[in-house]
């Protein structure tokens, strides 16, 4: 489809000759020559946004004043309050967030038809790629049949969803689906979909070159910034608006420069580097900001490592972590099979438009910080936040300190470790030193004997997620650790559930070419599927005996994964402590099976001759890794594996669906239902109303993540969502996960605020999705919300700092809205969730001054009346709130509206961004 760009007579439109072909492009130098400002020292990330303004300048949505504001940004120390309309080139989705997005589009077709409009107007105007990667679950592991059995179960569980997505692929223009079993969306994007510089034919038939940009319905869309593609995560509702032609309203962002110097030392990995970066940037505070990495140290950072750092931007709180185009970008594009024409265009365009990183590159930044990579040490992070960086030498000690806190300060044995002996493979537990009761333990009986579990037993070790499985250096490293362990006779401990879920089929190709997959198989890291698996909460069930032992004895069991998220209740309901680690360290932890063991210094086990084996005995050198990467990670492998990327396997090709303009919603489906958002919608928007007499649905603390608000993992038949499915004859074995049920609002409403580890401070010491209902009794949050709705009582959520951290989970906002919550009052918000709340018509408000939930002595018994919202409200306005306490006393405070832009006010007036778009499309001729 021809791209829509600004006037072809624009003074900034120039011509570029590459390989005998002519391309038009919008020149930043030409903008300076035209008197629009001096843009020479802007960061490369911001130049990409500026080019977007030049290309879409129309005097209305984008004006010359918007362009001049970028020069002012540099003159004002990297700050601006200018609101701009930004249009990304494309949209990326995965199936957990993609299914509800396609559900919304299907519902919008019904909605526009009801308003007298044309359903064909509901079509993506920008290209959309949806990669099915979130659905495979690890039911089977540690054997050669694991991959096929998990794939078979995936199709059994998700057939309805896949039918629906196949319908969407046929019904909507500009919409492609990458079938299951291909890889993780961010790795597929990095390795295949992204081009760094895009080219397309404009409305006048001329070829135009422009930066590759995107938004994605997954927070780790930022991974592709490692390849100099500007992209970040948004909620599904914002992505839907973008694909329907609605620009993204944003302020010109601050850009923090992160200078890298030096080089990584032996024994460290890209994972160690990124965990240090996450810690530093969280301490710095970069929420809502771009981070751009620069410095001569980048010469020592391969693109795979850059992608790992870019991937973790949500964990350090930034909108994105960008790397400018340089020689390494070109090398990577060549290695991964991009066409010679694309590669030549990337280099020529970047140099012509001031986006190439030359030696000494040091633009103007809002702020800076610096890291000498030679100071990075092996590390993990946890037990429940990615920013909780722990040097590997302190890991066991830090875990024991964590246990003391969990066990009310009781002394935990300094020598606590799992040790077992026996003949013929029948382990016999040896008692652990320390006073009985200070270190909880339990025994598991198995067919081949029995073994002991206790606080700190590692029951999951998973090489998983886009963050690290996209990186051949750490994956080859993991394979070499496995090889050396196998040669010495070491094996995983029998209570550890091991798994390998690569981010793409290319990973399997080079592991097999290097002969390393056999070594990984030998110690239990068999291929379980291509997808997010453990990192998204699809770790699958533990052996029943192990799960029962953990729960019967209230053990603090541990998972170690090479992922990006370790939030509470995410990885497994049986694991209370979760640690992020590099793939080689995941292998090492599987060998010891215990977080109490100091793997940096203590033996991991004994070799065939009874000698102690240490981590240093297994750890490969950088030269060993580099040699294998050079031999096995080839251009031909990428071209081969991506040759038929949209075709899929026989299972996908056999999925049949209907060919219809609107979707025939199956009444009996428990996966896909027509949502209520657009039903009985008026043609005209309403107005923003004040909130009177609202009750508090939940009182929450700091760092409440979108996983707390809308969990993605498994759930039990005793939960509101489980009861709903049981009433519809769905057996618990077929529940699948919350993430897979996101096409059904009935399940998702019941799952909102239902994380097993969420703590509502209205209740004393209670974990899980509970609150006080209208009668003061404890009940599930969903049930209480429905009671309040019957009474016509509006609701608010009150929370602490960094509310909504983590995933770009639109259901965290959708579920909040459907429960009847009119406003959220928090101390601060993470960027994506604040935007999602606005997109669903929920008003985000912030405490001001010294006020917070603690200083105001809130208990949940209060009522809230918020005025100043009705009428001519402004972005960022101060609004009064009267709190009436249980004893009748009142207190008036000032809240700051976090409706940040003028267009967001329109979204709220319309009841949400999709309502706004739908009404405008219905009105259009």
Mean pLDDT for 583-607 is 96
Query: How is residue 204 written in tokens?
Result: 């006048």
Write phi, then psi, for 408 (nearest 5 degrees). Answer: 55, 40
SS3 state at 374: helix
Does residue 659 carry a pLDDT above 70?
yes
Q: If residue 370 lies in a helix (H) or strand (E), which one and from where to where?
A: strand 367-372
Q: Is there a contact between 67 and 51 (Cβ–Cβ < 8 Å)?
A: no
Does residue 427 carry a pLDDT above 80?
no
pLDDT band at 72 (very low <50, low <70, confident <90, very high): very high
**How far apart are alpha carbons 334 and 633 in whole angstroms?**
12
CB-count exposure of residue 643 (10 Å: 0-12, 13-18, 19+): exposed
Query: How is residue 436 written in tokens?
Result: 């009985």
**How far apart are alpha carbons 234 and 215 in whole angstroms?**
6
Query: How is residue 316 written in tokens?
Result: 């350090």
User: How confident is the model at residue 432, as a pLDDT?
Assistant: 41
Choose the CATH number for 379-410+438-620 among 3.40.50.720, 1.10.10.10, 3.30.499.10, 3.40.50.300: 3.30.499.10
**How far apart are alpha carbons 208 and 345 in whole angstroms?**
11
Look at residues 629, 359, 378 and name the one whose alpha carbon lies nearest to residue 480. 629
* C-alpha dihedral sign at 74, 77, 82, 83: positive
Q: Is there a contact between 696 and 186 (Cβ–Cβ < 8 Å)?
A: no
Helices (H), 353-428: 395-406
Look at residues 376, 582, 317, 577 and name the one whose alpha carbon lies nearest to residue 465. 582
Does residue 790 carry a pLDDT above 90?
yes
User: How confident is the model at residue 447, as a pLDDT?
Assistant: 59
Cis, bond preceding 383 (omega within 30 deg of 0): yes
pLDDT band at 538 (very low <50, low <70, confident <90, very high): confident
Classify 839 in phi/psi space as left (phi over 0), alpha (psi -120 to 50) or beta. alpha
Give the model confidence (pLDDT) of 664-682 as tens digits.
999 999 999 999 999 889 9
Look at residues 129, 60, 63 and name the one whose alpha carbon lies nearest to residue 92. 129
Q: Look up the pTM and report it.
A: 0.86
**How far apart are alpha carbons 30 and 18 in whole angstroms?**
19
**How far apart are alpha carbons 706 and 83 in whole angstroms?**
27
Does residue 296 carry a pLDDT above 70?
yes
Lowest mean pLDDT among 25-39, 84-98, 397-411, 666-680: 397-411
Give the model confidence (pLDDT) of 842-863 as tens digits.
999 999 999 999 999 999 999 9
Q: Of the ranges 554-568, 668-682, 772-786, which is most confident?
A: 772-786
**How far apart are alpha carbons 906 and 686 in whole angstroms?**
10
Q: Where do the structural domains in the chain lie, given as residue ranges?
A: 251-324+361-375, 379-410+438-620, 691-708+793-923, 711-751
**How far apart are alpha carbons 719 and 725 in whole angstroms?**
10
SS3 state at 282: helix
Please give, one letter per residue, the 3-state secondary structure of 425-453: CCCEECCCCCCCCCCCEEEEEECCEEEEE
Q: If residue 159 lies in a helix (H) or strand (E), which one and from where to where?
A: helix 146-171
* Separation of first and last alpha carbons in the chain: 21
Q: Is there a contact between 418 and 408 (Cβ–Cβ < 8 Å)?
A: no
Domain 251-324+361-375 indexed as CATH 3.40.1060.10? yes
Q: What is the DSSP string of 485-542?
A: HHHHT----TT-EEEE--SBHHHHHHHHHTTHHHHHHHTT--B--SS-GGGGT---PP
DSSP 8-state assignment for residue 829: B
Write phi, then psi, for 578 (nearest 5 degrees). Answer: -135, 130
Where b means 16+ CB within 10 Å and e means fewer, 264-282 reads beebbbbbbbbbbbbbbbb
pLDDT band at 28 (very low <50, low <70, confident <90, very high): very high
SS3 state at 254: coil
CB-count exposure of residue 68 (10 Å: 0-12, 13-18, 19+): middle
**How far apart are alpha carbons 874 and 869 in whole angstroms?**
9
**How far apart are alpha carbons 633 and 471 in whole angstroms?**
11
Does residue 439 carry a pLDDT above 60?
no
pLDDT band at 62 (very low <50, low <70, confident <90, very high): very high
Look at residues 153, 140, 134 and name the one whose alpha carbon lies nearest to residue 542. 140
Look at residues 914, 923, 837 and name the one whose alpha carbon lies nearest to residue 246. 914
Give the model confidence (pLDDT) of 2-11 as tens digits.
455 555 657 8
Per DSSP bridges, beta strands 128-131 and 389-391 are unpaired
Look at residues 409, 500, 517 and name the one whose alpha carbon lies nearest to residue 460. 500
Mean pLDDT for 757-767 is 94
Classify 629 in phi/psi space as left (phi over 0), alpha (psi -120 to 50) or beta. alpha
Fold of the CATH domain 691-708+793-923: Aconitase; domain 4 (3.20.19)
CB-count exposure of residue 725 (10 Å: 0-12, 13-18, 19+): buried
**Rg of the chain in Å (alpha carbons):** 27
């Amino acid at each position: 489809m021809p791209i829509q760009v600004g006037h072809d007579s624009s003074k900034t439109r120039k011509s570029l000759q590459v390989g005998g072909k002519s391309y038009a492009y919008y020149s930043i130098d030409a903008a300076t020559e035209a008197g629009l400002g001096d843009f020479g020292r802007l960061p490369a990330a911001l130049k990409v946004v500026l080019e977007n303004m030049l290309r879409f300048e129309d005097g209305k949505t984008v004006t010359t004043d918007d362009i001049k504001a970028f020069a002012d940004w540099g003159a004002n120390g990297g700050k601006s309050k200018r609101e701009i309309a930004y249009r990304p080139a494309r949209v990326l989705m995965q199936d957990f967030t993609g299914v509800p997005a396609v559900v919304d589009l299907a519902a919008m077709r019904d909605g526009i038809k009801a308003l007298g409009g044309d359903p064909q107007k509901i079509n993506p105007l920008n290209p959309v790629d949806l990669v099915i990667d979130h659905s495979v679950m690890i039911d089977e592991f540690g054997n050669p049949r694991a991959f096929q059995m998990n794939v078979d179960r995936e199709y059994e569980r998700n057939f309805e969803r896949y039918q629906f997505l196949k319908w969407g692929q046929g019904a909507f223009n500009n919409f492609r689906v990458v079938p299951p079993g291909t890889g993780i969306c961010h790795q597929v994007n990095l390795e295949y979909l992204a081009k760094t510089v895009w080219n397309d034919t404009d409305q006048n038939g001329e070829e135009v070159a422009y930066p590759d940009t995107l938004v994605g319905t997954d927070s780790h869309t930022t991974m592709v910034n490692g390849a100099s593609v500007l992209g970040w995560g948004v909620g599904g509702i914002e992505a839907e608006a973008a694909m329907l032609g609605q620009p993204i309203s944003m302020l010109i962002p601050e850009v923090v420069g992160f200078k890298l110097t030096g080089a990584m030392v032996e024994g460290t990995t890209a994972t160690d580097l990124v965990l240090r970066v996450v810690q530093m940037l969280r301490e710095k505070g970069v929420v809502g900001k771009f981070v751009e990495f620069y410095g001569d140290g980048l010469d020592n950072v391969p693109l795979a490592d850059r992608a790992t750092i870019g991937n973790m931007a949500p964990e350090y709180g930034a909108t994105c972590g960008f790397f400018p185009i340089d020689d390494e970008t070109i090398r990577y594009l060549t290695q991964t099979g991009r066409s010679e024409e694309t590669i030549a265009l990337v280099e020529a365009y970047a140099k012509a438009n001031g986006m190439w990183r030359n030696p000494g590159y040091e633009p103007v930044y809002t702020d800076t910080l610096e890291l000498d990579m030679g100071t990075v040490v092996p590390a993990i992070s946890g037990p429940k936040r990615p920013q909780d960086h722990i040097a590997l030498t302190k890991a066991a000690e830090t875990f024991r300190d964590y246990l003391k806190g969990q066990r009310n300060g009781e002394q935990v044995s300094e020598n606590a470790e799992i040790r077992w002996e026996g003949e013929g493979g029948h382990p016999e537990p040896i008692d652990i030193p320390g006073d009985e009761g200070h270190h909880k333990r339990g025994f598991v009986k198995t067919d081949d004997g029995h073994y002991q579990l206790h606080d700190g037993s590692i029951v999951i070790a998973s090489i998983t997620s886009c963050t690290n499985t996209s990186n051949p250096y750490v994956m080859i490293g993991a394979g070499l650790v496995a090889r050396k362990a196998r040669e010495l006779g070491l094996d995983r401990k029998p209570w550890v559930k091991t798994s390998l879920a690569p981010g793409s089929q290319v990973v399997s190709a080079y592991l097999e070419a290097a002969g390393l997959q056999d070594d990984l198989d030998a110690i239990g890291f068999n291929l379980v599927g291509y997808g997010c698996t453990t990192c998204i909460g699809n770790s699958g069930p533990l052996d029943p005996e192990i799960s029962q032992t953990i729960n019967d004895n209230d053990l603090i069991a541990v998972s170690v994964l090479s992922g990006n998220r370790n939030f509470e209740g995410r990885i497994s309901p049986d694991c209370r402590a979760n640690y992020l680690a590099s793939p080689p360290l995941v292998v090492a932890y599987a060998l010891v099976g215990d977080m109490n063991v100091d793997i940096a210094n203590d033996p991991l086990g004994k070799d065939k001759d009874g000698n102690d084996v240490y981590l240093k005995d297994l750890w490969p050198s950088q030269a060993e890794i580099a040699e294998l990467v050079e031999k096995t990670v080839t251009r031909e492998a990428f071209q081969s594996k991506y040759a038929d990327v949209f075709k899929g396997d026989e299972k996908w090709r056999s999925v049949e669906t209907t060919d219809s303009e609107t979707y025939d919603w199956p009444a009996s489906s428990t996966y896909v239902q027509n949502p209520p958002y657009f039903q009985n919608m008026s043609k005209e928007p309403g107005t923003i109303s004040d909130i009177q007499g609202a009750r508090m649905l939940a009182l929450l603390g700091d760092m409440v993540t979108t996983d707390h608000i809308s969990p993605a993992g498994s759930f039990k038949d005793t939960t509101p969502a489980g009861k709903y499915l049981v009433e519809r004859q769905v057996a618990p074995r077929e529940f699948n996960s919350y993430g897979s049920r996101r096409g059904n609002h009935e399940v998702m409403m019941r799952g909102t605020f239902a994380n097993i580890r969420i703590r509502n401070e209205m209740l004393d010491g209670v974990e899980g999705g509970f609150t006080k209902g209208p009668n003061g009794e404890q009940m599930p949050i969903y049930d209480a919300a429905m009671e309040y709705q019957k009474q016509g009582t509006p609701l608010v959520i009150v929370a602490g700092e960094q509310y909504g951290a983590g995933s770009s989970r639109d259901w965290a906002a959708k579920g909040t809205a459907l429960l009847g919550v009119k406003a959220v009052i928090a101390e601060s918000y993470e960027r994506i969730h604040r935007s999602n709340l606005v997109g669903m018509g929920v008003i985000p408000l912030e405490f001001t001054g010294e006020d917070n939930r603690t200083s105001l002595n809130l208990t949940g018994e209060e009522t809230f009346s918020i005025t100043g919202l009705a009428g001519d409200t402004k972005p960022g306005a101060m609004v009064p709130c009267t709190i009436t306490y249980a004893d009748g006393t009142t207190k008036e405070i000032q809240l700051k509206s976090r409706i940040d832009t003028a267009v967001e006010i329109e979204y709220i007036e319309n009841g949400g961004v999709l309502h706004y778009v739908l009404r405008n499309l219905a009105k259009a001729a």
